[in-house]
A = this chain, B = another copy of it.
Amino acid sequence: MKNYSKYPKYYVAVDCVIFGYDIRKKLLKLLLVKRNIDPGKGSWSLAGGFVKEKESLDDAAARILRKLTGISTVLLIQSRTYGDTDRDPGARVISTSYYALTGTSEINHELVKDNGAHWRSVEDLPKLVFDHSKMVNQALHDLQNLLKTKPVGFELLPEKFTLVQLQELYEAILQVKVDKRNFRKKILSMDILEKLEEKEKQTSKKGAWYYTFKKERYDKLSMNGFSFNLDVS
User: Could you tell me which A residues sit within 8 Å of B by CB distance?
Assistant: 1, 3-4, 7-12, 37-39, 50-58, 78, 80-81, 83-85, 90-94, 96
Q: Which listed residue (B38, B58, B85, B93) contacts A56, Cβ 8 A?
A: B85
CB pair B12 A9 closer than 8 Å: yes
- Give Cα distance in the complex from A18 to B25, angstroms: 46
Q: Which listed residue (B7, B53, B58, B92) contacts A11, Cβ 8 A?
A: B7
- Give Cα distance in the complex from A52 to B1, angstroms: 18
Q: Which residues of B contact A85 (CB under 8 A)?
A: 53-56
With both chains docked as a complex, state the minimum distance between the C-beta of A51 and any C-beta of chain B, in angstroms: 7
Q: Which residues of B contact A58 (CB under 8 A)?
A: 83
Q: Which residues of B contact A54 (CB under 8 A)?
A: 85
Closest to A6 in B: B50
> Can you tell how many copies of this chain the complex includes?
2
- Give Cα distance in the complex from A80 to B83, angstroms: 13
Q: Which residues of B contact A94 (CB under 8 A)?
A: 12, 51, 57, 94
Q: Which residues of B contact A92 (CB under 8 A)?
A: 53
Given A50-B8, A91-B1, CB of A56 within 8 Å of CB of B80: no
Q: Which listed residue (B1, B11, B53, B81) contacts A57, Cβ 8 A?
A: B81
Q: Which listed residue (B9, B51, B83) contacts A83, Cβ 8 A?
A: B51
CB pair A4 B83 closer than 8 Å: no
Closest to A87 in B: B56
CB pair B96 A84 closer than 8 Å: no
Q: Which residues of B contact A78 (CB under 8 A)?
A: 80-81
Closest to A10 in B: B12
Task: List 21 contacting pairs A-B, 8 Å CB cutoff, sorted by A.
Answer: A1-B90, A3-B38, A3-B39, A4-B91, A4-B93, A7-B11, A7-B50, A8-B50, A8-B52, A10-B10, A10-B12, A12-B94, A51-B83, A51-B94, A53-B85, A56-B83, A56-B85, A57-B81, A78-B80, A81-B81, A81-B96
